[in-house]
Amino acid sequence: MPTRRSRRCISIILPLLACGTVGRTAPAPPEVSLPLMPLAPKIDGEIDEQEWARATKLFGFVSQHDGKLTVRDGMFWIGCDGKQLFTAVKTEMPPGAGLLTRAVPDGDRDIIEVTRDDSIELWIDPHKGQTEGDRRLFQIIVNARGVLYDRSYDMGNQQNPVDVTWRIKWEFADKVTDGWWQAEFAIPLTVLGAETDLGHPWGLRVVRDWHRPWDQSRWASTGGAFDDVPSMPVVHWDPQAPVVQMRSLHKDHKEAVVAVSLHNPGAAPLTAKVFLGDAWSMDPPRETERSVTVAPGKTEVVSHDGRDGGPEGSHHTVIRVTSPADKRVFFFRDFTWNMHRPEAAWTLEKEQSQAVEFRFKYYPYHNKVKAQLDLTALAAREAVTGAKVVVRAAKTETSLAEQAMAVKDGLAEAVFAVPALADGDYEIAAFLAGGAGVPKAPVVRTFARKHFPWEHNTLGTSAAVIPPFTPLKVSGNELSCVLRELKLGGGGLWDQARSEGQELLAAPMRWEVQADGKPVKVQTGALKVASAAPNRVVAAGGWEAGSLTAAVRSEYDYDGMMKVTLSLTQQPTPETMVERVSLVVPLRNDAVKYMHTCGDGLRHNYAGKVPAGEGVVWDSSKGNKLNIIGTFYPYVYLGGGERGLCWFADNDRDWVLDDTTPTVQVVRNGGVVELRVHFVTQPTKLTRTHNVEFGLQATPVKPMPEQPMNWRKWRCGKKLAGCFPLTILGSTFYWGGIDHDVYPRDCDLSIYDWIRDTRENGKADLDFVKRWMEGYKPEAQPGTPEWQKYDAHIMYTARVAPSYPRAEGCAMIPYTNARGIGFQAAEWPTFQDEWINFPYYNRVAKGGVGYDITPTDSYRDFALYYYQKAMTCFDGVYWDNVYMAALNDAVTSAAWVDERGRLHPSMGLWHMRELIRRTAVMYHEQGKHGVFIPHMTNTNLVPTLAFANVALDWEWQYGDRDFQDRFSPDLTVAQTLGRQTGCVPLILSGGLYDRSNPKFPWAMRTRLGVCLVHELRVWDYGPEEEVALLKKLHEFGYGEPDCQVFNYWDDGHPVAVTGTEAKTIALSRGGKAVVVVTDYGDGGDCTVKLEAAKLGVPTAAKATDLETGKAITGDLANGFTFALKKNDFGVLLVE
């Protein structure tokens, strides 16, 4: 679920028109050539035309909605003096209103909320066309307050291209003058790594992000994602070029006059060919083509009079300025526009135009209301002396609850209790008190309360320890859980962690404290086990360090997850400043090869090898963050492909942090890799108890699945003899949903009976389909795209369901979205405020959200109730969008507001974990084996996935490239294997679906090679060649109890390859072996050497190609040699 700005898509870019004639084909990207500016313009927010006379100037931004110049006027300038890139943007203001600037600066933090404001966006590619070296491009968004959201994207780094820590260093100034927003920018080329890159083309997008109404308008007429390099406008820095500026498109919206100026800054005359073409509606084009010679230091203007036939038609205009022989393009732009401005260019929404902005949230599970008043637009706000909010039944005056609110700086906010409300409609009214000009009438909003049968259910909450987990056991200071043993220390941490018999820690975990500029000795207390049950253990410890006292409470779940509450209290000693409180986890260097770090969001998280070197090799300033406030970072895993340890926290409530010190560090000291987490980085005196929460968990959290059969025989979309076949219905439409639903349309569960019967009977009742389709009326009508969409999905289920009968052990899994909901749900009007991530939300009744829900307490009850209903026909649950995201609500989560008024969000980590946990437990309670599939692309969060049994990855890096070039083996081991969580690793097919594409067979072969050596499963039903090879592997015994598997990332791997860089997997059974060799280098003649004793093969064994049956040259003593193409794979049968 990519963001709108970082989406990868393929755009078809047509070449420039061969001649000047105005055509109707899709336009090519704009192109500009211009010399360097002799003088830098003054960056003061006042665009002086003389200062920008040596920059190119363009009129109009192209709307993303209709591909025409937006009706709201704008212009921009671009220039460079060889040291800095200059841009100026001038756009009209909304009548009678200001710019939307809701986002405010917060130090160097990226503020994603700026995308909800009027803003200017730049995409800069100073390395366009480069294939090596620095290939970064840059994204910058800024509002009128100077609030920034910026990124760099390294086109040479396919695994982790996004650098969220990059920060633009520039001059920026803006002003609002005479109804125009003027903004000026000066960007040093050194910030872009481009001080020596003026000799080749640049890519540059200039974008005006409007609101009221929303529109992302841009320079180019071509579509495509903003980071799509081929469709970017092109800029050449050419000392021989003229300075071309657009001068007009029309005269006061009455006459079409297209004009450009050419300025010659050189010492010799300059000749250029100018083409201006314009066609209104279906008129034949009118064209002006001239050869213009401009004297040194002079300017020539070329204009063209067009014909306009009225507002019903649009102009198609081409401006092209070239060298006389057309060899060099000085200016090119091909665009469409309408000369007639509509009366309503702006839509100032009713709520935004009101002087008093009143927002609220209602929390039915918590019996609370949160209300906010914003009086900044009220002229008499200084006369307001107080405010009151009243909750009452609709159309009544009787107060059910009320709350006084203090107004400060035009703002007021409060959370207050309300009684449990009966079914019905309600109002919440805000009253202001004060003098002249203060409104007397209240501002009234409405909401509804409806009770539902699922509320406060206990599904999935039993104390049962579900398999494959085992009961927790405590003996002295030893706690054991499945596959792991933990030695508990008096400080509330672990003295040792053993995973599958191997020790992870190089020394006991410890606390470190610094005060008054020096370390303070930490004295730990005695461990006490407060309670011990098969499913839950609670332990208590503590420590003292000078004036600081800590109580440490550790709660263990039976998956081995430890949730820690660190309670810090300082004695009142005025002379002592606590400067640092840290957790230190010393890990054995040989146990820590890989790491995976996660912020809020996906696709930008690091996964790979722990960086080399001594000292600090990584810190959280390098981690992906979107809406995280300050220096907090939520998740780090360190370990191997299977065994390791993760630290995590839902947020930084009660931490004491400065604005710059990274909170998490990875430090290597010789044979020890230390994970350091700093809970205090700002010198402080604790005047109250601070309760800090975090978690630790060793991996693997559970064995890989053995039910209904060994995980190596699980297949998704492929039905192979002797294997466990499962299929996923990949959207809610397949089972009757409308939009990110938890139940079918209109909560009509009869479709569940139909799917069950179709699976059992092997044939679909198509009369039911006809009746079901009638239920989409009147919103969808036969023959419309909406109707065809629903019909196609239901008919797909009718075709597929008979192939997955439960009686044959098949599983069918429905799509759900853990972060989405359709607003048509009957529960939405009542529970929307408990489920949405935003601090407040427009109370809309149509549509839906796909990424903005967190499964809070009430949502989980809602979901579990209908998951149980779906068990009628389904065998598990698929959750889309299982990643951490900012939950900006302090009622439904641990989000909190700091002393600077900043809301620190929860990551939703505990909520998401509990949704999956309860679902797995509910299936166990019902006596069912379920398949639980979180879609976790690039977010392998151990505590979240612990109760799942399939993990879906790689909705990412789509296209036709080789899979080795999409995902490195280091990323795959660190993130995708599933071994850390006991989940079958499943990937999406890769985004290449057209089997007639000539690149399809090879792309699929590279995918198979990558999947074989990493034991990944693909959500795909083919290709046939892949199925044929998988059958041979299973016939050999892959997945059987007596077939031993050797993975390349484990120590003592019995396969070595020379001649190319390759990754391998080996299977051993009955004196035979199968070895898969997948190229990750440049291919060539490779030699494979095997350790016969480990593989159990005779020393005289020979090798054949398992795919073709042909003999492979060599023997065990000297190795087997064969040719391997780049990114291909070979399969050796050794016997």
Which tens digit of pLDDT belongs to each residue from 670-690?
899 999 999 999 999 999 999
Listed in sequence order, the DSSP H helices in 267-406 are 350-353
Residue 1065 neighbours by CB distance under 10 Å: 21
How wide is the angle at C-alpha 586 spanned by C-alphas 585 and 592, nearest 5°?
105
Length, in residues, of the chain: 1135
For residue 1130, the model assigns a pLDDT of 97
Return the SS3 of 40: coil
Closest CA to 943 of 607, 673, 666, 702: 702
Distance of CA 568 to the CA centre of its chain: 35
The secondary structure of 579-619 as a DSSP string is EEEEEEEEEEGGG--EEEEE-SSSSS--EEEPPPSSEEEEE
Nearest-angstrom CA–CA distance, 1083 and 1097: 27
| Segment among 161-165, 705-709, 893-897, 956-960 with least mean pLDDT | 161-165
Single-letter amino acid code for the residue at 611 = P
Helix pair 1000-1014, 1024-1036: axis angle to 10 deg:
20
Model pLDDT for residues 711-722, shown as the tens digit of each residue: 999 999 989 999
- For 385, phi then psi, to 5°, come to -105, -10
- Does the pLDDT of residue 863 top 90, yes or no? yes
Strand ranges (DSSP E) for 850-949? 876-880, 896-897, 903-904, 931-934
CB atoms within 10 A of CB 603: 20
Q: Residue 58 is encoded by which pair of tokens?
A: 């363009």
Among the residue ranges 441-455, 565-579, 808-822, the one predicted with the least confidence is 565-579
Which 3 state secondary structure label does DSSP give 716? strand
Chain centroid to CA 1094: how far? 43
What percentage of the chain has pLDDT greater than the value 90? 82
Backbone angles phi, psi at 204, to 5 degrees: -150, 125
The strand pairing partners of 519, in sequence order, are: 514
pLDDT at 500 over 90: yes
- Pairwise CA distance, residues 815 & 812, whole Å: 10
Give rounded-to-5 percent helix, strand, coil for the chain.
Answer: 15, 40, 50
Find the helix packing angle between 857-870 and 909-925, rounded to 10°. 30
Q: Enumerate domains of the chain plus CATH numbers.
A: 1-19+54-239 (2.60.40.1190), 240-345 (2.60.40.10), 354-449 (2.60.40.2550), 473-699 (2.70.98.10), 711-744+771-953 (no CATH), 1038-1134 (2.60.40.1180)
Q: Tell me the C-alpha distance between 1076 and 1068, whole Å.
A: 12
Is the pLDDT score of 1 beyond 80?
no
Q: Which residues pair with 473 in a beta bridge?
A: 480
Burial class (CB in 10 A: 0-12, 13-18, 19+), 613: exposed
Is a pLDDT exceeding 50 seen at residue 24? no
Both tokens assigned to 207: 């974008």
Question: What b/e sequence results for 358-388 when a residue is b if at least 16 CB atoms lie within 10 Å of its CB, and e otherwise?
Answer: bbbbbbbbbebbbbbbbbeebeebeebeebb
Q: In the predicted model, is pLDDT for residue 55 greater than 70? A: yes
Residue type, 1094: K
Exposed (0-12), middle (13-18) or buried (19+): which is 664, by Cβ within 10 Å?
buried
Which pair of structure tokens corresponds to residue 49? 């035309």
Contact 656, 915 (CB under 8 A): no
Q: How confident is the model at residue 411 (pLDDT cuts 50, 70, 90)?
A: confident
Q: Mean pLDDT across the chain, nearest whole number?
A: 93
Q: For the chain, first and last CA: distance in Å?
A: 47
For 730-883, list the strands marked E by DSSP: 811-817, 821-822, 848-849, 876-880
Of 329-333, 371-375, 533-537, where does mean pLDDT reach its minimum? 371-375
pLDDT-based confidence at residue 335 (cuts at 50, 70, 90): very high
CB 956 within 8 A of CB 937: yes
Calpha distance 548→567 (Å, rounded): 10
Closest CA to 220 of 78, 40, 28, 473: 28
pTM of the model: 0.84
Which of 155-169, 487-501, 941-955 is the least confident region? 155-169
| Ramachandran bin of 500, using left for φ above 0, alpha for ψ from -120 to 50, beta for the remaining angles | left
Q: Which pLDDT tens digit goes with each residue over 114-153? A: 888 899 999 999 999 888 889 999 999 999 999 999 999 9
Contacts of residue 3, defined as CB under 8 A and 6 or more positions apart, other chains included, come to: none
Residue in 194, 202, 201, 192 with CA at minimum distance from that of residue 125: 202
Residue 13 has pLDDT above 60, yes or no: no
